[in-house]
Amino acid sequence: MKKLFLWYSGTGTTAEHMRNFFNITASDTIKIAYVDGLGTENNRTESQTLSNNQTGSWTEWLMGFFRKTELLHDQAYGYKEKHQLAQLEHYFKLLEEIDPEKDNHVELIIGGHSRGAAAGVLGFITALYSCCKEGNTLEGSPIKKIRILGVDPVPGTKGNDLLGLESETAEFKKNPILNMLNFIESSSKKEDLFSVIYYAARFDARNEFKADDYWLNFYKSQLLNKQIDTEFYVGGFRHSAMVFEDDEISSLYNGNARPTALMKELVKRELGLPCANIVTLYNGLTATELTALSNLANDTGNTTLINRTNKSSYGSASVVYTGSSLQEIVKKITANGTKKSELNKVNLINNRYLTL
């Protein structure tokens, strides 16, 4: 078995940071590529377009995928979005690691954080969906499993309109992720082709960083009728808590039960590497965060948590943000007559589940 891992970094996050963060060594059976996030120097200066990509691709399907991605690239709105989709060329290089004569079982692990999940990962899914609509399916290919990791997807202030779904029906567009995954599976005649991990932050103080509607709708539908193998995790009180230790507010947690550790261990598990017990780790993380929320309601909140969960904690950039602090929101819930125990039920703030 061979596994190909591609990670789309979030805005302002370099591929080098994510490479050091995960610290996974490539091997004969694990191939890895990290994509620079929007706003980084590498992403900003890269001028090679998809039309110039020469991959020597090994199947008709890959060429169809390439052509469809190029169309998405041309349809995207704005410089940044174009460069996010252009970064799919990294995936072509990974696919060249597949030897059709030797590799009869290949698994893809496609992950991303922030805009990397809302544009990069969904751009990949949409390109694959469009190829399947045109008859370039995965039937007969060595790709047996595709594991999707969407980590606190945020579409940005312009929204997530670059997916090229304008021609689809209104019903289809209510839940495009689920509908695209189902179509790819059925057209490729590969039952249970996909599995999905949706890892959302518990909170972010900035209204402008509202989590992606597409991903939230996907998760809600899965709760009602689970059609795709899906796991849901909530952790961290800042948007980048899973990929930056400073944003995770490390002093709040005990041992390994923290947002960054959960992120690393989930990726290890998906790659088939030795990892910690995910259930134990997640239960510990959840208990810590729910206790922290309860303490805020009781005026015994962690000072660092209070300071790091309001928009002023984002420095000079905070002048362009709107949003209430975590402490203000908790106080408002309790002041309205809601019992403090109600904090242990679901409260949806900016498309994120504050509590479970």
Distance (Å, whole) CA 17 – CA 30? 19
Domain 2-277: give its CATH code.
3.40.50
Distance (Å, whole) CA 48 – CA 92? 14
Structure tokens at 355: 């509590």
Rounded mean pLDDT of 268-276? 97
Task: Compute how many other C-beta atoms are within 10 angstroms of the C-beta atom of residue 322.
Answer: 10
Average pLDDT of the chain is: 84
Residue 289 predicted with pLDDT over 90: yes
The fraction of the chain above a pLDDT of 70, given in percent, is: 78
Query: Apex CA 81: angle with CA 137 and CA 5, to 5°?
Result: 50
Exposed / middle / buried, residue 131 (Cβ in 10 Å: 0-12, 13-18, 19+): buried
- Confidence band, pLDDT 50/70/90 cuts, at residue 145: very high
Distance (Å, whole) CA 260 – CA 248? 7
Asked if 117 and 79 count as a contact pair (C-beta separation under 8 A), the reply is no
Q: Where are the domains of the chain?
A: 2-277
Distance (Å, whole) CA 137 – CA 145? 14
Residue 140 predicted with pLDDT over 70: yes
Supply the pLDDT for residue 88. Answer: 55
Asked if 92 and 130 count as a contact pair (C-beta separation under 8 A), the reply is no
- Highest average pLDDT, of 61-75, 214-228, 271-285, comes from 271-285
Residue 162 predicted with pLDDT over 60: no
pTM above 0.75, yes or no: yes
Asked if 355 and 346 count as a contact pair (C-beta separation under 8 A), the reply is yes
Residue 268 predicted with pLDDT over 50: yes
